[in-house]
Structure 1
Amino acid sequence: MKRKKGSRVTLQDVANHAGVSRATASLIVRNSPNISEGTRNKVLKSIRELGYVYDRVAANLRSQQSTTVGLIITDIANPFYSDLLVGVHNALEENGYTVFLGTTFDSDKKQEKLLSTMLEHRVGGVILCPVSDSSKETIERISHLNIPIVLAVREIKELQCDYVGIDYREGSKLAVEHLIKKGHRRIAFLGGSSESSAWKERKIGYYMALEEAGIDIDESLIIENTVTREGGVHAVTKALLLETPPTAAFCFNDFVARGVMQGLKEAGLVPGEDMAVVGFDNVQETVIYSPPLTTVSSFPRLIGTEAAKLLHERIADQEREQKRIILQPELVVRQST
């Protein structure tokens, strides 16, 4: 029987073309290992020739279980999130999931739209790196979603969810203590937003290090800005205009630190000599910054891996007890201090 021109190629069409049963063709598109190599190659050849596309949504509806999961991050241009994505992808791929990626650019509206889109595509669960100022409405929406959610990187206290992150207090304390040991007493905290839980935790660690060293806290040295290279440039430019500029900068992350070093160079100063600079995250590029950046390792790939494992566990058992995994940071000293 000839297929009508323009109609969708079905699995039965593939089976007829390859000379196998529909059940055999179905096993092959679902990657079953219980098929001979010869039969598999024959069916795959028919799939290519006919242009068959597996309807995963329909399959999910039939099985009542989705093999697609969502990952929502704030900025794919930030190497931290690129590394986190690798960890998520590798761990989920091992368990047969496909990752559906969305980027919010730290916008609550975009986050809300992405969550809606992922629900429409019937994802089996979501790993969410929340925006800095997630609205009450978004929080309530997530709370009432009937799908597994794992938070990563940033925590939302109002949400009862599995969470994976780093000990930001300890990480920032390590960074500032290092600068104090180098003789610095005017240490700026540059970049990030006070609406973010990760920023608040970093600030607590910053305060702790200064207080333990007997150094008075100067609020003018805490300068918020976007978590971008441009944000770093603007933050350090503002810091240099202070009546008594800082001699060192603890930056919200490595992305900001890169901008801070660029801003110093534009001002005719030498990073690591005229001002010490410490970042946070230890993304791969930090070793080729000029100078190489002293930073705090936050292990983004491991965060991604652990978040993916938690999501897989939650999908398998939605009644299990919630888990909160906090990784311990490590200071990596290079030439920028």
Structure 2
Amino acid sequence: MIRTGRTAIALTLLLAGSAFAQQQPPASPAAPPPVDFSKVEIKTTDLGDNVYMLEGQILGSIGGNITVAVGRTGIIMVDGQFAPLHDKIKAAISTISNLPIKYLINTHYHGDHTGGNEAFAKDGAIIVSDINVKNRLAEGTTNGLTGVKTPPAAAGALPTKTYAGKMLKIRLPGRVADLRHIAGAHTDGDTYVWFKTANVLATGDTFTNGRYPNIDFANGGNIKGMIAATNAYIKLTNAKSRIVPGHGPIADRAALIEYRTMLVTARDRMAALVKQGKSEDDVVAAKPFADLDKKWAPTELASKNFIRVVYHSLADKTDKKTVLKRMLRRS
């Protein structure tokens, strides 16, 4: 049975104001309103076998989900939200276990998942990620939809344990996390985390439950990789699996299959429009996903942005220099 509880925490998609600019998720095209972190709450869901999901909500916006897996000597945590929430996140985790956080895994580089890196590292956590997460954080990034630039993160926020292959195992007594990289999906540095004994999968933003995902095409994302990710998840999980999405409520395999169907439909429709030589403005005006919007787009802006990111992921051409640069980044 799943138990839920609330503590005073907030997990939110966006940070407002220049003071938090380096931790803004680069995927949001609209200027966010100021956030009062003191008013945010969190829901803690017990997934069984000492694994938990932390999710927060404020004014209808859901921040990046956190997974907490407790071993005998410490905790493995997946994603850490924004820096201003560090103390509240620790307080919430303390209601689960008083053991130290040994590892903090970044599923990708966006600020609503990595903002807490520096503070948790100061607490003693080892920050773990795919190598491209470290590279993106170190170099800074540009939002493909808005052109907004996110400056390099502080040195203390960079992952200190990285991998450039397809997988990595993180072990603690009584707990093993299998990390696997999916190439060119939400970004170029996505990691999903599989807690096999608990039958719990943490996907990061390669899966967003009940809403369109962002595809960060300017930083290696592509709808083809998103579909490849869901194919891997469907193969890995079963009817009893608990799936922690990057955003949205806890999901099961059936929700994942429905999400994949949406992605495939969107890819096929957009591929036909791209083949016809349609421009970005043409496809936005055509509203090719109007029937899908009823379930997956909470706003008109969300609908338009999904059209745009799918278009760019299929229409943009990657030159040989860019391909070589990506290969060197992973070396």
Q: Normalized against structure 1, the TM-score is what? A: 0.26
Q: Which protein, 1 or 2, shows the higher relative CO under an 8 Å CA cutoff with sep ≥ 6?
A: 1
The structure having more radius of gyration, on CA atoms, is 1
More helix by share: 1
More strand by share: 2
